[in-house]
Amino acid sequence: MTTESLKSAPKKNYFYRLIESFGATILESVEGLGSYISFTLNALSWMFRPPYRFRLVFEQLYFVGNKSIFIVTLAGSFTGMVMAYQTYFAFNLINVDSLVGTVTAITLAKELAPVLSGLIVAGRAGAAMTAQIGSMKVTEQIDALEVMGINGVQYLAVPRIIAGTLSLPMLSALYLFIGNIGSYFVGTKFLNIDEAIYLSKLGEFMFLEDIWQGLIKAFFFGFIISTVGTYFGFNVTKGAEGVGKGTNLSVVWGMIMVLISDYFLTSFLIQVL
Amino acid sequence: MLSFDNPAVRIDKLTKTFGKHTVLNELSFDIPRGKITTILGFSGAGKSTLLKHILGLMHPTGGKIEVLGKDLSELRPVELREFRQKFGMLFQYAALFDSLSALENVAFPLREFTKLDNSEIVSRCHKLLDSVGIKEITRDNLPSELSGGMRKRVGLARALALSPEIMLYDEPTTGLDPITTHMVNDLIVSTSEQSKDRQMTSIIISHDVRASLRISDFVAFLDRGNIVEYLPASEFANSKNELVQEFVNL
């Protein structure tokens, strides 16, 4: 072996290891995606089999929906107010400030309400789903269910998925409503936009399809967040440390999947609606 | 090797592999009805894997298991779930549902699988909790508010709620102080005696040799996926197997 080849050997190894590590990451991601899809299909199949546990669904609706009302209201009102301000100062330059309410409302309806309420629910309820199910897994509570002849996915995941999927459109609608109140308040009271013009432009340019688009998106985001939250819960390993890691992954992946699916849903819904 | 007519569990050449690693290796033995049988072994010997096979929570790579005369591999998933209602299990750390009180934990299987009204369920739960010595004042406490021994007792009451035909104990005394250990062992014996009329079979997974010899009718020793000794408890300490002698004299 020449001196030259000896010098180049470590570089080659490093490059090789880099490709190897990149390949391993891709394989791991594909495997993880497959496992998630398989879990979701399994949960969907259990959704339509008796016994139907409505009490558990209502408990989860209360947890995911009711308990998120405060934070969604807070975020919605400030988003609407900030949107009104930012839009006003841009639109004022070209003398179309009468459209502030309309633009804010359409942006909220189509994008901000479903996406931001989705991110809030992913951080709050999605993480809680993973932590609850994960800690049940590491303390053998899920095994205890299975030994009794109760399917863990049906008992724990299905009510959470139904509740998440139904709650998010409602939370998104609340976000939209509160956001518009915030925007109206700032626009008409602080920015001196005429109330009648504000409302008439809103009625003229905003359509029911805009609201539908946001609600349909929220429905899918709710489904994604709750399946991701429960999936990571069932896949927790290695005790308390694993629960923390699973919760972290659940929030990160829940948010990533909301943002990615938002693009595809938008491009699809624009053509359909 | 001991064999029994009409056993509660019949294991025939059971093999389980995970990739290249063989955990259970053509294991064969019978567990008699109405008796207490303990399976001893070192950590990693395959005890928990064996327990999961008996419960039908794992599928064998080879061989078969008959429980109460039924070949588990022939049962459909729905039938297997129903069949599991014949089992009760006390987990190593009790595995109580942490969002439910002690009483509601015991009520859980009754609410899921019976059509009894609430007052009847509550009354049954009180009787079960009486039988395991849980005082009335602690029955509304959450599992996190109970001591380790109390959790085990509540776990036992929950496992007994549906009057199981086979009661499984997964290392029931691990992590308990000597007095509580003694109490849990006595509870296992008294539970078995109280259920003698319906021939309840008790299977214990443990590595507590002394307690096993005291409370069991039969003791099996599992090593590297196979039963290397299986004797009545009274004869187990005199086994000629070197590994068993080493384990007994530790």
| Residue A144: closest C-alpha in chain B | B95
**pLDDT the model gives residue B81:** 87
Average pLDDT per block of 10 residues along chain B, 250 residues long: 84 92 92 94 87 90 93 89 91 93 96 93 94 87 92 93 93 85 89 87 91 93 91 91 85
Residue B56 structural domain: 9-95+165-248
**pLDDT the model gives residue A214:** 96
Rounded Cα distance between B80 and A210, Å, is 50
The answer to which of A1-10, A112-121, A253-262, B112-121 has the lowest mean pLDDT is A1-10
pLDDT at A14 over 90: no
Overall average pLDDT of the A168-196 stretch: 95
**pLDDT the model gives residue B31:** 95
**pLDDT the model gives residue A58:** 97
Q: Does residue B101 form part of some domain?
A: no
What number of C-beta contacts closer than 8 Å exist between A and B? 44
CATH number reported for the structural domain that contains residue B234 in this entry: 3.40.50.300
Rounded Cα distance between A82 and A79, Å, is 5
Residue B57 has its nearest CB partner, among A135, A139, A146, at: A146
Q: Does residue B154 form part of some domain?
A: no
pLDDT band at A239 (very low <50, low <70, confident <90, very high): confident
Rounded Cα distance between B246 and B250, Å, is 6
CB B60 within 8 A of CB B37: no
Contact A143 B91 (CB under 8 A): yes
> How many structural domains is chain B composed of?
1
Q: Could you identify the residue written with the tokens 């949960």?
A: A43
pLDDT band at A246 (very low <50, low <70, confident <90, very high): very high
Q: Which of B82, B84, B152 to mutate to test the interface with A (most CBs of A within 10 A)?
A: B84
Contact B97 A147 (CB under 8 A): no
**pLDDT the model gives residue A238:** 80
For B21, counting Cβ atoms within 10 Å of its Cβ (0-12 exposed, 13-18 middle, 19+ buried), the class is exposed
For B45, counting Cβ atoms within 10 Å of its Cβ (0-12 exposed, 13-18 middle, 19+ buried), the class is buried
Rounded Cα distance between A100 and A114, Å, is 20
Residues across chain A: 273
> What average pLDDT does the structure give for chain A?
93
**pLDDT the model gives residue B73:** 87
Phi, psi of B21 (to 5 degrees): -95, 120
**pLDDT the model gives residue A3:** 57
**pLDDT the model gives residue B57:** 87
**pLDDT the model gives residue A162:** 98
Contacts of B49 (CB under 8 A, 6+ apart): B16, B23, B24, B58
Q: Which residues in chain A are contacts of B58 at CB distance < 8 A?
A: none
Rounded Cα distance between B106 and A150, Å, is 15
Overall average pLDDT of the A101-127 stretch: 96
Q: Does residue B59 form part of some domain?
A: yes
Rounded Cα distance between A121 and A164, Å, is 9
- B87-90 and B166-170 beta bridge pairing: parallel
Q: Hey, where are the domains in chain A?
A: 53-272
Overall average pLDDT of the A150-161 stretch: 96
| Residue A51: closest C-alpha in chain B | B112
**pLDDT the model gives residue B5:** 79
**ipTM for this prediction:** 0.87
pLDDT band at A2 (very low <50, low <70, confident <90, very high): low
Contact A149 B81 (CB under 8 A): yes
